[in-house]
Structure 1
């Protein structure tokens, strides 16, 4: 009987201990209950704002000064006026758009082709994880690998010479388009998997009944993909392109390790231009002005692409 009483007492004690928690939850005001989820995410939001919003606001503030270490001289919009007439800045912007545009186009084509076969072919589908391997390497390690292949080790030149395509070694840093090609190849090799995994996920999440109806009507798989699947995932493609475009606008590691802007600044991207102005000539206010201009151009371009893609997706 004592054992039974002890068991029953323990069973009654457990609900009794839970009742104070229920009473505490009931005593909370409706406003506190509504604010509770926001309080949970507040630390993460504050942290993200601290590492994104504050540096951006600080760069805008600094762009109105001539900064030489501890000496800050107000210059108003002089940095922006000087930037508008700086041929090196606009050349860096043109290099970024040219190199980034070619790299992004090649990445989209390769990633979409791989996604099409990985989505359809069961054999390739099983090897999807292998396509993601280049993205797992550090960008600096990838840059050094391609520097060894193109410049230091002359692996590419030796391979082309053995195939009989060239007679002597190629100077990848002495030719404008060869130097740009090194940056494009390095970027395409590492970041095509990023677009590939997004495209595969988009193809797998589309409505299968539409494709099945087209297949029953006699449409081939390429026709289904081009006329049905591709328009359906157009908003996803736009978002993926914008994400990669923003990343390309900040291309720095490959330029710093592979070319350093040579020859003649023809491979200098806008990020490397900002680095050179800030940390080589120590003109921090001018570098901040260039960063602000780059940010504004990136935001406007991203808004335009996404808005047009989603508008066309609705129609």
Structure 2
């Protein structure tokens, strides 16, 4: 390359417009500007309704106007037997459902993680979670109540002699909600547990296997203790979601028999949109939000104390 060519290239580079460099402040704030629209949108659909509901809970809301009521809604709520019954139903139905989901998801994750045949088809386990919750509720309502598919199958195999009344018996009605919830949302925990197993150090398991330990013993004594933080996070996330159980109750039981399947979410819906007592429903929502935050915080501190699970 001749000296003339080098001079020409140097002149061309000098003549090219230089890109203005961002200041340190601009470089620092640029990532926040990128995520700002999403943050504003999420705050608009989550934070604002929550603040509005808390503000509304201090009023008696009617179609003609708002009448200040102070903490009257909260006082009445703590004396409301229906509210405490709905809270108890949420705890019972949600607790049983969450326990079953954890056990089943751990069993499926163990086999899907180890067995090559099952591991290749584990996408099938995720299919229930892909259906709309309302569609799942209608399917199970047809199976348990309208079409009596479950009763007919049990009679054909000789386990029962007559149709089961799933809406007339308390625990039968609760069972329908538990089965529907377990069937659809166990895959959510399954995904988390499989990811947790795959992220573990394989050398520890290989060392135990070389010492003669069986796969069930390795899973129970090594993999499961290491999964404790993952299980804790999954239980908290799923537990928070269970407190909002509404679709299955609305479509399948509507709180029957006698309100024994009415969850707190359905209680809030019935109070606000059927009885048109919006201030009272907002107070119930605020109390449920506070209880959820307290329980989640206690569990987080219990499982992640001092930064260790």
Question: What band does the TM-score fall into relative to the shorter chain?
Answer: over 0.9
Q: Give the distance between the partners of 1:251 and 1:197, measured in 2 at CA.
A: 21
Find the counterpart in structure 1 of residue 108 from structure 2.
Answer: 114
Find the counterpart in structure 2 of residue 20 from structure 1.
Answer: 18
The answer to whether the Cα contact below 8 Å between 1:231 and 1:313 also exists between their aligned partners in 2 is: no
In 2 relative to 1, CA 12–294 (structure 1 residues): closer, same or farther, beyond 3 Å?
A: farther
Q: Does the alignment pair 1:41 with 2:35?
A: yes
Find the counterpart in structure 1 of residue 120 from structure 2.
Answer: 126
Q: Give the distance between the partners of 1:279 and 1:184, measured in 2 at CA.
A: 25
Displacement over 3 Å in runs of 4+:
9-17
| Equivalent residues, number | 304
Find the counterpart in structure 1 of residue 99 from structure 2.
Answer: 105
> Can you list the C-alpha shifts for 1:224-267, whole angstroms capped at 9, x where unaligned?
11111111111111111111111110000000000000000000
Partner residue of 1:200 out of 181, 194, 198: 194
Q: Give the distance between the partners of 1:126 and 1:70, measured in 2 at CA.
A: 61
Partner residue of 1:247 out of 234, 238, 241: 241
Partner residue of 2:227 out of 233, 236, 245: 233
| SS of corresponding position for 1:73 | strand
Unmatched tracts of structure 1, length 5 or more:
none
Find the counterpart in structure 2 of residue 308 from structure 1.
Answer: 302
> Can you list the C-alpha shifts for 1:205-241, whole angstroms capped at 9, x where unaligned?
0111111122222222111111111111111111111
In 2 relative to 1, CA 279–76 (structure 1 residues): closer, same or farther, beyond 3 Å?
A: same
In 2 relative to 1, CA 252–15 (structure 1 residues): closer, same or farther, beyond 3 Å?
A: farther
Q: Does the alignment pair 1:175 with 2:169?
A: yes
In 2 relative to 1, CA 217–272 (structure 1 residues): closer, same or farther, beyond 3 Å?
A: same
The answer to whether the Cα contact below 8 Å between 1:64 and 1:79 also exists between their aligned partners in 2 is: yes
Q: Give the distance between the partners of 1:47 and 1:197, measured in 2 at CA.
A: 28
Q: Give the distance between the partners of 1:115 and 1:171, measured in 2 at CA.
A: 35
Unmatched tracts of structure 2, length 5 or more:
none
The answer to whether the Cα contact below 8 Å between 1:234 and 1:313 also exists between their aligned partners in 2 is: no
Find the counterpart in structure 2 of residue 217 from structure 1.
Answer: 211
TM-score of the aligned structures, taking structure 1 as reference length: 0.92
TM-score of the aligned structures, taking structure 2 as reference length: 0.94
In 2 relative to 1, CA 224–75 (structure 1 residues): closer, same or farther, beyond 3 Å?
A: same
Find the counterpart in structure 2 of residue 186 from structure 1.
Answer: 180
Find the counterpart in structure 2 of residue 279 from structure 1.
Answer: 273
TM-fit CA distance, 1:306? 1.9
Q: Give the distance between the partners of 1:132 and 1:13, measured in 2 at CA.
A: 59
| SS of corresponding position for 2:61 | strand
Find the counterpart in structure 2 of residue 96 from structure 1.
Answer: 90
The answer to whether the Cα contact below 8 Å between 1:67 and 1:284 also exists between their aligned partners in 2 is: yes
How large is the RMSD of aligned CA atoms in angstroms? 2.0
